[in-house]
Structure 1
Amino acid sequence: MYKIGLVGLKTSLEQILDSAEEYKYELEFISLPYVKTEEVDSIVKEHNTHVHAWLFSGPLPYEIAKKTLGTDKIMVHVPATESGFYKSFLEMIYEKGKIIEQLSIDTMSLNNISEEALSQLNIKIPKIYTKVFELDVDTNELLQFHLDLWNKGKTEGAITCFPSVCHALRENGIPAYRMSMSKMEIRQTLRILSEKVKASYFKDTQIGVEIIEVEFFSRVAEEMKTPYHLQYLELRLKEMLIQLGEKINGSFSEKGNGRYMIFSSRGAIEREIITLEDTVQKLAFEADTTVAVGIGFGETAYSAEINAFRAIQHSKEMKNREIVIVQDDGKIVESPGTKKELQYAGRTHDKFLIEKLKKGNISVKAYKKISALVHRLGWREFTTKDLATQLEMTERNVRRIVTDMCIVDLAQCVGEEAQATRGRPSKIYRLL
């Protein structure tokens, strides 16, 4: 059974659990309530290793957790939609006994739905004073925002995202309502969570193959003083790899000339990437040579093995022999589990893009890798030197690719960068 970390205010968690009864045989919900949003950071850090997925009661704790963890675990939240706003607005109209003409609202910058919700109503749109808040929100500041407008006679009520702010406003005699989630939104989110968990399960049980190659093994063998030294070395290498195989519950086999293969499940391999990295470092030190690693995932052993061969070939083309994964959908992952991790598609079905790449004599992999890198680093503009450094390629080769991309309108030269020393200025590019 999958364990789901359920994070939110206590009242919100109770609402979610009331609707989660039908999932009790497939999902185990672990309630992790907070009083203040500042607690979300420590909650997710403490419990991240104990749960398979996360469910948050709203976008605010979700965004905080996403920023804190940077995890690839399943993370979903109950969205703030128009229905939550309509509910609060109608309750306020009922309490006041008239259409509200002036209103103060606080809303998250990433999810401002109040104005859009009102624009869909065929009524006179009230005058709205909006306070937008970020992840580091100060609820006292929000409370003061609503109070100031009320005291100046500019509003007839307030809608807030926070129960504490709502309670404090009501204590001051202000008609205040909290934007809350509806049962429909909760049920829809639970359905999405259930589907993602099931998809994750099937993905987790895919076949995974690790191909580990101690490079230049013939040279290493020649440098051994006696055949016994070589045999001792091979025993030490195999011991390390058998320990890795045991860790991922895999099947180990030796292919000869420094190449080894381990079959296991995708989930086990992904969970032990750090163990693999440590093993590779030890192998490289023991054999005093480079070690290339390719991992392939697939629905069958054959497809996983083919992807692993593609991955190790890719790894051997890289200067630092990073670990490379080729997934069942053709996606390539370089340096998985590290800060340098880069994911990009190794193929495309976009006919328009394929025609451009053919015309420019550019490989899909090269274009997708450059595009993924630029977006990951947040570069609006770049030079070929910037790219060459990150891609561990010669600037000449990168310049050729980028020039070809410009010819077929996949990139554009937007300026030049003056050099500190003598020489031609570097051209500045932007992806299109």
Structure 2
Amino acid sequence: MAVVGPVPLGQEICHIASEFEGIDVIPLFYESAEQSPRLIENYKFPVDMYIFAGPSPFQLALKFIPNSSMAYYIPFEGADIYRLLLQVYEQYNRFPVISYDIVDQDYLIEVYEENNLTLIPYFLHSHKDGFLDSNALVRYHLKLLKNQQVEVIATTMNAVYEQLKSQDVPVFLIKHTKSTIRDMLVKAILKEQDIKKKELQLTVLRFEIKAIGVHDKQAVKEMITEIIIFGQNYLLSTSIVENMVVSLFSTRGVFEKVSKERTDFTFIEAMNRKKQLLVHLGIGIGDTAESANFNAQKALEHASSNERGSCYLIDEDKRIYGPLGTKESVSYPLLFSNRKNITLTLRRLYAWLFLVRKTKVTTRDISMGMNTSERHASRILKSLCDQELAEITGKESMNQKGRPRHIYFIHLDKLKEAAN
């Protein structure tokens, strides 16, 4: 983690970042925010994550941040403004008219409303008004002060603060609270961990080769070899060949790098330029080998339904994308909208049915077997019927009081597919 900011604030961020285990902190300190692009450009070692002391250095350095690195800035939030106002009040015993820079206007409005300060005007220059460098911000604040429009200046930039302070101007530096810094670091680290986890997800690319017209064994053999070499050279993958289907096994991070974040599928287009062959590709991403394989097979089924060679992808959330590499590419959920919760329910249901070896059940059976209410069991069975995973086959015999319950037949094979 590289911390980019002025010396006092940068040191504070580095100190808090050192509280987290497994984080190596690299200080990249500047005297003014305008130096941040040069700091990024001159640092030649790989960095997983850049943390900027505020939005100004972040905006200035944005185009210099390597594509392989994540970058975040610590925003100036309500707690930071509260602390600033407390310092101002301690000195003035009242709330004067203040000129702010960079802070989010929504936070200012919220803080002023909560403290009944809405009748006290203030001035704000934010990035939405156009970026100003340190010298321009100094001139902006001094003009308001000279015209007696404000009494006090509150800046987020250390270089602006130092210049105004040297001129004996009533100025305060808006600083991040430790909790603001810590909260942002936690969010950034968790985001980075989530990205790393996704990069390691198993990705299966399943190529299906179809002969057009006369079956040319030599052409098929050459295409299989071409696909395997493609996998070895670009995806660092292992491969399995079954008849006319070649499966390559890689990771999400490698695949998305090769496909330029799923935008470049010229490799499948090149394979389909050979007139005697048609190549379809199904890509599956999953948290387990079984899930990735299942998703790849389903994606291939969608691709194979096209007359031309095409490519479809199904991710870990059972969302399908395709045909990839075309203007017609769309995405939509494969089965359910609330996929994660429903998948967990389906897996539990399938495991229980497989254990008790039952395919015919009632709401009471589901209620008892899954330790849930009959109302919830009824919703589960209705959902299964809607998805054609179950059907009503009759009613139980009347040997007890009350209305007879429906008997449902569960299609276990379909349920197993839906649960994966």
Q: Please state which band the TM-score falls in when normalised by the shorter chain.
A: 0.5 to 0.7
In structure 2, the residue matched to 1:201 is 196
In structure 1, the residue matched to 2:211 is 218
Q: 2:298 aligns with which of 304, 310, 315?
A: 310
Report how far residue 147 of structure 1 moved: 0.9
2:97 pairs with 1:102: yes
* Counterpart secondary structure, 2:161: helix
Report how far residue 343 of structure 1 moved: 5.5
Q: Which moved more, 1:237-246 or 1:260-269?
A: 237-246
Q: 1:132 aligns with which of 109, 126, 139?
A: 126
Gaps of 5+ in 1: 225-229, 351-362, 364-432
TM-score by length of 1: 0.65
Report how far residue 103 of structure 1 moved: 1.4
Report how far residue 268 of structure 1 moved: 2.8
Asked whether the 8 Å contact 2:28–2:39 carries over to 1, the reply is yes
* Structure 2 Cα separation of the partners of residues 63 and 53 of structure 1: 16
Asked whether the 8 Å contact 1:80–1:111 carries over to 2, the reply is no
Q: 2:23 aligns with which of 1, 21, 27?
A: 27
* Structure 2 Cα separation of the partners of residues 244 and 142 of structure 1: 54
Asked whether the 8 Å contact 2:10–2:53 carries over to 1, the reply is yes
* Counterpart secondary structure, 1:27: coil
RMSD across aligned positions (CA): 3.9
Report how far residue 119 of structure 1 moved: 1.8
* Structure 2 Cα separation of the partners of residues 210 and 45 of structure 1: 37
Report how far residue 262 of structure 1 moved: 0.9
Asked whether the 8 Å contact 2:227–2:246 carries over to 1, the reply is no
Given the superposition, is the C-alpha separation of residues 142 and 199 from structure 1 closer, same or farther in structure 2, using an over 3 Å criterion? same
Q: 1:190 aligns with which of 181, 185, 188?
A: 185
Aligned residues: 336
Instruction: Deviation per CA, 1:265-310: give whole Å up to 9, x if none.
Output: 3333233325983543442345665533221111222211121123
* Structure 2 Cα separation of the partners of residues 128 and 117 of structure 1: 12
- Give percent identity, aligned residues only: 21
Alignment of 1:156-167 (within 5 A): 156-167=151-162
Given the superposition, is the C-alpha separation of residues 338 and 126 from structure 1 closer, same or farther in structure 2, using an over 3 Å criterion? farther
In structure 2, the residue matched to 1:325 is 313
2:341 pairs with 1:348: no
Report how far residue 186 of structure 1 moved: 1.3
Report how far residue 318 of structure 1 moved: 6.7
In structure 2, the residue matched to 1:234 is 221
Asked whether the 8 Å contact 2:202–2:285 carries over to 1, the reply is yes
* Counterpart secondary structure, 2:24: strand
TM-score by length of 2: 0.66
Instruction: Deviation per CA, 1:148-200: give whole Å up to 9, x if none.
Output: 12112222211112222222222332111222211111111222223223333
Q: Which moved more, 1:112-121 or 1:6-15?
A: 6-15
* Structure 2 Cα separation of the partners of residues 125 and 19 of structure 1: 38
* Structure 1 Cα separation of the partners of residues 80 and 205 of structure 2: 49
* Matched AA of 1:21: S
In structure 1, the residue matched to 2:253 is 267
Report how far residue 93 of structure 1 moved: 3.2
2:18 pairs with 1:15: no
Q: Which moved more, 1:337-346 or 1:185-194?
A: 337-346
* Structure 2 Cα separation of the partners of residues 5 and 340 of structure 1: 41
Instruction: Deviation per CA, 1:241-276: give whole Å up to 9, x if none.
Output: 23423543322011223x211122333323332598
Q: Which moved more, 1:197-206 or 1:311-320?
A: 311-320
Alignment of 1:65-84 (within 5 A): 74-84=70-80
Asked whether the 8 Å contact 1:220–1:287 carries over to 2, the reply is no
Given the superposition, is the C-alpha separation of residues 342 and 190 from structure 1 closer, same or farther in structure 2, using an over 3 Å criterion? farther
Asked whether the 8 Å contact 1:326–1:333 carries over to 2, the reply is yes
In structure 1, the residue matched to 2:400 is none
* Matched AA of 2:5: G
Bigger-Rg structure (1/2): 2
Given the superposition, is the C-alpha separation of residues 342 and 18 from structure 1 closer, same or farther in structure 2, using an over 3 Å criterion? farther
